[in-house]
Structure 1
C-alpha cells in the first residue's frame, strides 16, 4: 500500500518520464495483490488524495521544467531562466534573467523550489518553478561544491525586519494558518491579539494583511501602514 501511495505521488508531482514509470509500477503491484487488499488499497489512496486536495498540483509546465532541471543537475549543466520576482523593483519591474548552477530541487508546501548558485547574486538562491517563465539548459558546465549537501542544507535566516499587527481574536487562527512561517510571538489581550512577525521585507506581508481585511491593523512599521493605506485607496477608487 505504501508503494502504491508512492506511485501516486510520483505521477502527480514529478515529470513525465517518472510518471510513466510510476504508472507501470502501479499496474504490476496491483496485478499481484489479492482482490480484498487491492480494494482496500484503492479506498485508502482515494482518502489520502482528499486530504491533499487543497495543495497546488504540479502543472504541466512545471513538470516539463522538472525534467529539464533533473537532467541539468545530474549532468552539472548551467541553466538560464526568466524569472518573475515576488516583489517588484522600484520601477515596478518583476522580470529578471538569471544564469544559475542548479544544485537541487525541493518540494515545499506543495511548491517545487530550485536551489542553485545565481551568477548575478554570487550566492545560493531559491527559485519557485511556478515563477519561471522560460528555461534553457546551457552548454556550460559547473562544478558542484564539495561541501554542499542538499539534505544538510539550511538557508540562512535573513529575516531582520519586524512587523507588529493588532488583530481581532476571531481570526487569530486564520492568521496562524496563512502566515505561520513569519510569526514570532502572539500576545493575547482582552480586546485584541498582538502578533509579532519577522520578515525579509515588510512587503512580504502586504497581500496577506490585505486578505485579512478590516480585522487587522498594522501598528508598525509606519512604511507598511502607508503601503496598506495606498492599496486600500486604490481598491476604494474601483468601487
Structure 2
C-alpha cells in the first residue's frame, strides 16, 4: 500500500471509531507500530485533527473530518471527470448523486484550482438517445437477487425471451451490458441494454451456487478489472 493511501486509511479508521490504538492500526494495515506512530505524527503536523498519544490511543476530534485537500489537483480533476461521465451515462438516481458530488467538490476547491480546471475543461455531453433509465430497476434487481424476464433482440434481428439472474452491469463507452446467468442456456450470457425490447423484474429470488457468481465469470474469462 502506498504511504498516501495508508494515511487516508488511518483517517478513515479513526473517524469510524471512538478510540483506536496504534497496535490495532498496525494489525489492520499490516505495518509496524513504529510506522503508525510516525504516520500519526505526520498527520498531526499537517493539521489533521487527531487527539491522543502513543500507548493510549487516537481519535479524530468531534469537530474534525478528513480534509478535502488530501486529493491533489490531478486527482480532483479525475474525480470531476468521472462524476461528469456518470452524470451523462447513468440513471436518474446515480446522476443526482454524481451532480451532488460535483457541487460538494466545487464548494471546497481553492480559487486557484478552480481556475486551473476552467482553463483545461473536459466535458461529457449528456445528449444521447441511450436508454439509461433502464439501469436503475436492473441495479435494484441485482442488489435484491431478483430474476429478470427479458425480451431480447440480437444484432442479426433474432428475437428471444429469457429468464436471467442479473449479476453485474458494465459500461463500454457507448453502451451498457448486463452479465447474467441464463436459465435457458445454463451458463453466463451478456445482454446489451439497448437491445432489450422489454424486461420485467420478477418477484422470485435466485440463489447462486459455485460457478455461477460474477467472480466465477471473471475467473473463467480471464477478466481483470480495477478494484476486482
TM-score by length of 2: 0.56
Q: Is the 8 A contact 2:130 2:194 kept in 1?
A: no
- 1:20-31 aligned at under 5 Å gives the runs 20-31=96-107
Give the number of equivalent residue pairs: 145
Which deviations, in whole Å up to 9, do the C-alpha atoms of 1:160-194 show, x marking residues without a partner? xxxxxxxxxxxxxxxxxxxxxxxxxxxxxxxxxxx
- 1:150-161 aligned at under 5 Å gives the runs 150=215, 153=218
Q: Is the 8 A contact 1:11 1:23 kept in 2?
A: yes
- In the other structure, the counterpart of 1:149 is 214
- In the other structure, the counterpart of 1:67 is 136
- In the other structure, the counterpart of 2:9 is none
- In the other structure, the counterpart of 2:90 is 14
Which deviations, in whole Å up to 9, do the C-alpha atoms of 1:135-178 show, x marking residues without a partner? 11011110133452349615659xxxxxxxxxxxxxxxxxxxxx
- In the other structure, the counterpart of 1:140 is 204
Q: Aligned-pair distance for 1:3? A: 1.8
- 1:80-229 aligned at under 5 Å gives the runs 80-88=149-157, 94-147=158-211, 148-150=213-215, 153=218
* 1:149–1:101 CA distance, 2 compared to 1 (3 A): closer
Provide the secondary structure at the position in 2 that maps to 1:66. Answer: helix
Q: Is the 8 A contact 1:104 1:150 kept in 2?
A: no
* Structure showing the higher strand proportion among its residues: 1
Q: Is the 8 A contact 1:100 1:118 kept in 2?
A: yes
* 1:95–1:152 CA distance, 2 compared to 1 (3 A): closer
Provide the secondary structure at the position in 2 that maps to 1:120. Answer: coil
- 1:223-238 aligned at under 5 Å gives the runs none
TM-score by length of 1: 0.54
Q: Aligned-pair distance for 1:109? A: 4.4
* 1:22–1:116 CA distance, 2 compared to 1 (3 A): same
Gaps of 5+ in 1: 89-93, 158-239
Match of residue 79, structure 1, among 148, 152, 156: 148
Q: Is the 8 A contact 1:57 1:110 kept in 2?
A: no
Q: Is the 8 A contact 1:58 1:111 kept in 2?
A: no
Counterpart-to-counterpart distance in 1, 2:216 and 2:101? 27
| Aligned-residue RMSD, C-alpha | 2.7
Gaps of 5+ in 2: 1-76, 223-228
Q: Aligned-pair distance for 1:111? A: 1.8
Q: Is the 8 A contact 2:168 2:214 kept in 1?
A: no
Counterpart-to-counterpart distance in 2, 1:113 and 1:64? 13
Q: Is the 8 A contact 2:92 2:133 kept in 1?
A: yes
Q: Is the 8 A contact 1:5 1:45 kept in 2?
A: no
